[in-house]
């Protein structure tokens, strides 16, 4: 469990994290979503005691990180910047860490296996691809068999296989009853990975909701319309409750009007349509809608 209370971090004039209060619960994957610069990494660093809050507190499993006597068993983290000794092999890197933290040696083989690195365990990490480096980062995070797992943009640099692997792993860790806090600036990734979403924008908490509710609240089901006279059609559809975006040349995404009305208006004006497709709100659109007006909402409901 991670509990943030009024967590604030100021770098000079810049409020990187602005009064964030949120609880990240065990047993589910919590997606930590926000555009670059939103304050996700800074928040995670404060959880891990790597950065000191300007105000507020960050507790992990009930205590500040620094007060745990067995921190690697409490929380495992994959952070953005990795400092690995390039001349060491993956196995040597993990063995050194395990020895320092007083963790059993057999965990090394377990996490190498978990991360799909067994075959390359004897290779120097200096020669690792970005994806293999990420896998080693995950192996490192899991070394202490921690109750809480913090993954900062773990999908970055992974190929599609790697993305699927990390998603499956996150879900499995949550199913084992762990707290999984998983950041990404990729909305689509979160829709399929996270049960619950904590969304940040410019340092502030903008949402703390179940993923399903986030999508539902966006209420953004719309209609994709393709027409050689798209601009003209956009003008005809304009109204107070109608949102028309132009995704690409000749294509409109219309919200607030059902497909039949779009079709009828076009027909009345003699405008040909080459496509008229109902579309469900994507997480990305929901996120944009949410951060656009920086409206704050939260829900008291929590998944069981
Ligand atoms: N060590 C630092 N010194 C000064 N500013 C920082 C530092 N770390 C982060 N920031 C600033 O804080 C804001 C949040 O950054 P960050 O937490 O890295 O966001 P995210 O991980 O969501 O992309 C950004 O404006 C960033 O430039
Ligand atoms: Mg970051």
Per residue in 266-298, pLDDT (tens digit) is 999 999 999 999 887 666 666 766 665 443 343
- One domain, residues 93 and 192: yes
Residues whose CB is less than 8 angstroms from the CB of residue 88 and which lie 6 or more positions away in sequence, other chains included: 96, 124, 125
pLDDT of residue 296: 39
pLDDT of residue 264: 95
Same domain, 201 and 93: yes
Nearest-atom index, ligand 1, CA of 80: 21
pLDDT tops 80 at residue 84: no
CATH number at residue 263: 3.30.70
Domain check: are 172 and 255 in the same one? no
pLDDT band of residue 24 (cuts 50, 70, 90) is very high
pTM of the model: 0.77
Q: Does ligand 1 lie within 6 Å of residue 291's CB atom?
A: no
Do the domain assignments include residue 150?
yes
53 in a domain, yes or no? yes
Tell me which of 216, 233, 253 is where a domain ends: 216
Q: Is 90 exceeded by the pLDDT of residue 109?
A: yes
Q: Which residue has the higher pLDDT, 177 or 298?
A: 177
Contacts of 151 (CB under 8 A, 6+ apart): 77, 78, 138, 141, 166, 170, 180, 181, 182, 183
- What's the 58 CA to ligand 2 centre distance in angstroms? 17
Is residue 172 located within the same domain as residue 187?
A: yes
Alpha helices in the chain (DSSP H): 40-47, 71-74, 90-101, 106-114, 130-142, 160-175, 187-193, 211-218, 230-237, 259-268, 283-292
The stretch 191-220 carries a mean pLDDT of 84
Q: Tell me if 63 CB under 6 Å of ligand 1.
A: no
The residue with greater pLDDT, 36 or 3, is: 3
Average per-residue pLDDT for the chain = 87
Pair (94, 229) in one structural domain: no
Domain ends where: 216, 238, 255? 216
Which helix (H) or strand (E) covers residue 245, if one does?
Answer: strand 243-248
- The pLDDT value given to residue 20: 97
Instruction: Give the residue whose CA is nearest to atom 13 of ligand 1.
Output: 16
* Host domain of residue 244: 222-279
pLDDT at 219: 54
The pLDDT value recorded for residue 101 is 87
Q: 81 falls in which pLDDT band (50, 70, 90)?
A: low
User: Which among 56, 96, 40 is positioned nearest to 72, based on CA atoms?
Assistant: 96
**Is 168 within 8 Å of 160 (Cβ atoms)?**
no
Ligand 2 centroid to 272 CA: how many Å?
A: 46
Q: Percent of the chain having pLDDT more than 90?
A: 59
Dihedral (CA of 129, 192, 202, 8) sign: negative
Q: Is residue 82 part of a domain?
A: yes
Q: How many domains does the chain have?
A: 2
Q: Kindly state whether residue 36 falls inside one of the protein's structural domains.
A: yes
Question: Quick one: pLDDT at residue 108?
Answer: 96
Find the mean pLDDT for residues 123-146: 91
* Residue 123 is assigned to a structural domain of this protein: yes
The answer to whether 284 touches 187, Cβ cutoff 8 Å, is yes
How many angstroms does the Cα of residue 41 sit away from the middle of ligand 2? 4
CB 199 within 8 A of CB 206: yes
242 and 203, same structural domain? no
Same domain, yes or no, for 207 and 242?
A: no
Give the mean pLDDT of 194-201: 93
pLDDT exceeds cutoff 90 at 187: no
Confidence of residue 151 (pLDDT cuts 50, 70, 90): very high
Q: Give the Cα separation of 279 and 286 in Å (integer).
A: 13
Q: Do the domain assignments include residue 130?
A: yes
239 pLDDT exceeds 90?
no
Return the ligand number nearest the Cα of 18.
1
Which CATH number goes with the domain that contains 151? 3.40.50.300
The yes-or-no verdict on residue 303 having pLDDT over 50 is no
- Kindly tell me if the per-residue pLDDT of 36 is higher than 90: no
Q: Are residues 81 and 189 in the same domain?
A: yes
Q: Tell me, using a 6 A CB cutoff, whether residue 45 lines ligand 1.
A: no
User: How large is the average pLDDT for residues 236-243?
Assistant: 83
Ligand 1: residue whose CA is nearest its atom 4 = 11
Looking at the structure, tell me whether residues 102 and 158 fall in a common domain: yes
What does the buried/exposed string (b/e) look like for 177-204 if buried means 16 or more CB atoms within 10 Å of the residue's CB? ebbbbbbbbbbebbbebbbbbbbbbbbb
Atom of ligand 1 nearest to the CA of 9: 12
Does residue 10 fall inside a structural domain? Answer: yes
Q: Which of 216, 242, 258 is the last residue of a domain?
A: 216
Q: What is the pLDDT of residue 186?
A: 81
Q: What is the pLDDT of residue 297?
A: 40
* 129 and 270 co-located in one domain: no
Whether residues 202 and 274 share a domain: the answer is no
Q: Identify the band that residue 218 occupies on the pLDDT scale cut at 50, 70 and 90.
A: low
Q: Are residues 269 and 137 in the same domain?
A: no
């Amino acid at each position: 469990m991670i509990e943030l209370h009024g967590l604030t971090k100021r770098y000079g004039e810049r409020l990187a994290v602005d009064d964030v209060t949120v609880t990240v619960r065990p047993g589910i994957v919590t997606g930590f979503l926000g555009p670059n610069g939103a304050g996700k990494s800074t928040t995670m660093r404060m959880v891990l005691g790597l950065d000191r809050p300007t105000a507020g507190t960050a507790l992990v499993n009930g205590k500040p990180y620094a007060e745990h006597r067995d921190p690697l068993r409490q929380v495992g983290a994959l952070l953005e910047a990795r400092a690995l000794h390039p001349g060491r092999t993956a196995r040597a890197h993990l063995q050194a860490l395990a020895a320092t933290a007083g963790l059993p040696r057999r965990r090394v083989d377990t996490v190498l296996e978990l991360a799909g690195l067994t075959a390359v365990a004897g290779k120097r990490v200096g020669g690792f691809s970005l994806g293999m480096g990420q896998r080693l980062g995950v192996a490192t995070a899991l070394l202490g068999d921690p109750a809480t797992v913090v993954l900062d943009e773990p999908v970055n640099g992974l190929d599609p296989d790697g993305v699927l692997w990390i998603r499956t792993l996150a879900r499995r860790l949550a199913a084992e009853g762990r707290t999984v806090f998983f950041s990404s600036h990729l909305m689509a990734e979160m829709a399929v990975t996270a049960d619950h979403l904590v969304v940040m924008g410019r340092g502030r908490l903008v949402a703390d909701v179940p993923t399903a509710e986030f999508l539902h609240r966006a209420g953004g089901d719309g209609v994709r319309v393709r027409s050689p006279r798209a601009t003209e059609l956009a003008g005809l559809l304009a109204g107070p409750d109608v949102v028309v975006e132009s995704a690409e040349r000749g294509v409109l995404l219309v919200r607030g009007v059902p497909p039949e009305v779009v079709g009828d208006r076009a027909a009345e004006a003699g405008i040909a349509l080459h496509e008229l497709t109902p579309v469900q709100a994507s997480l990305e659109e929901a996120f944009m809608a949410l951060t656009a007006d920086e409206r704050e909402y939260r829900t008291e409901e929590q998944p069981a």
